[in-house]
Amino acid sequence: MSHELFDKIAELRAELEATNPQNEAELEQFRIRFLGTKNAFKDLTPRIKELPNEEKKNFGIKTNEALQAAQAKFDQLQSQFARQESQETNKFDLTANAYGLPLGSRHPISLVMNEMISIFERIGFTVAEEREIEDDWHNFTALGTPADHPARDMQDTFYLLNDVEALLRTHTSSVQIRVMGKQKPPIRIIAPGRVYRNETISARSHCQFHQIEGLFVAEGVSFADLRQTIYFFAKEMFGATQIRMRPSYFPFTEPSAEVDVYWGLNSDTDYRITKGTGWLEILGCGMIDPQVLENCGIDSQKYTGFAFGMGVERIAMLKYQIDDIRLLFENDVRLLQQFQSAGY
């Protein structure tokens, strides 16, 4: 047992015990030195023949013991380092719930508009959309409002580039003219869209807003049909049990009416918004003036029709109790988020 090879093994064993890798790189050095394919013990192996036979077995045992010690130390350090690393990673709580993706919401104007559309679709109306930049003919003249007509003062117009021909439509009634110019009766459409007027912006008025126009042209359409259509809408939209029609004037309808729905007087708000009457004006309407039909190439002897138009903001403000129209155009997310789970 006094052979130099045993001293060598003892030295290597001492070195192995004294080596304490502090990190993965040092552990790799340790592995190469004591466990790698060219490890320090292998250098000794060929010299086994220098030993007398009875010592050979002992040499093998000592070498194996040292290799096993090296392997055990390696395994233990390797898992220790892996644990440390994962603790560092665990500064993050991997089991925490992920944040949900922020969900968008529909704008209150879209919600109201979609609800209106779906009510009219149920009674056979289809949606028609048209341009917002119009010409004088479609926005005014064909609708019974030539240049010198006093009714033009009802709507202050934005003209484009000092061009009296191109303008931003002041109402969706222009869509009536476009559609009647292209389609043959029977025509039954609603036209939702944006309109513009040169008005001072305040809590009650804005220079841009939305309207929905309705148009029904066919043989034998009567004022009774108009009234029933509006009644159906008021019932579905507001749960209204009564409507009333007041005579009014529009250049493109004859006779013309404004429609009020019975809103009720159940709260202070009801008194305020109905000015103490319980009635709320919701739209303008009338039988299409025969001259308007003729302007679009429709035979006014054969066909009659009705039309109506209403503001969407006003109805959205009533429905959602918003008392300043500007809120509907500012797109403050704090307002919009409140409509997150609303339908339509």
What is the contact surface with ligand DAH in residues (CB under 6 A)?
171, 173, 213, 250, 253, 284-286, 307-309
Q: How far is the CB of 177 from ligand DAH (least distance, A)?
A: 11
Q: How far is the CB of 147 from ligand DAH (least distance, A)?
A: 18
Taking the least distance from each CB to ligand DAH, the nearer of 185 and 284 is 284
Taking the least distance from each CB to ligand DAH, the nearer of 21 and 305 is 305
Taking the least distance from each CB to ligand DAH, the nearer of 40 and 212 is 212
Residue 287: closest CA among 183, 135, 176, 147: 176
Taking the least distance from each CB to ligand DAH, the nearer of 15 and 129 is 129
Produce one character per residue of 124-146: b if its CB has 16 or more CB atoms within 10 Å, e if not.
ebeebebeeebbbebbbebbbbe
Q: How far is the CB of 232 from ligand DAH (least distance, A)?
A: 17
> What is the end-to-end Cα distance of the chain in Å, rounded?
93
Q: How far is the CB of 97 from ligand DAH (least distance, A)?
A: 51
Q: How far is the CB of 141 from ligand DAH (least distance, A)?
A: 14
State the alpha helices, DSSP H only, in the chain: 4-18, 24-34, 40-44, 53-89, 108-121, 136-139, 173-182, 223-238, 268-273, 290-295, 312-320, 327-330, 333-336
DSSP per position, 223-274: HHHHHHHHHHHHHHHH--S-EEEEEEEETTEEEEEEEEEE----SHHHHHHT
Residue, CB closest to ligand DAH: 309
Q: How far is the CB of 226 from ligand DAH (least distance, A)?
A: 9
Residue 120: closest CA among 19, 16, 233: 233
Taking the least distance from each CB to ligand DAH, the nearer of 192 and 286 is 286
Taking the least distance from each CB to ligand DAH, the nearer of 32 and 133 is 133
How would you list the strands of the sheet with 163-168, edge to edge?
133-135, 163-168, 159-160
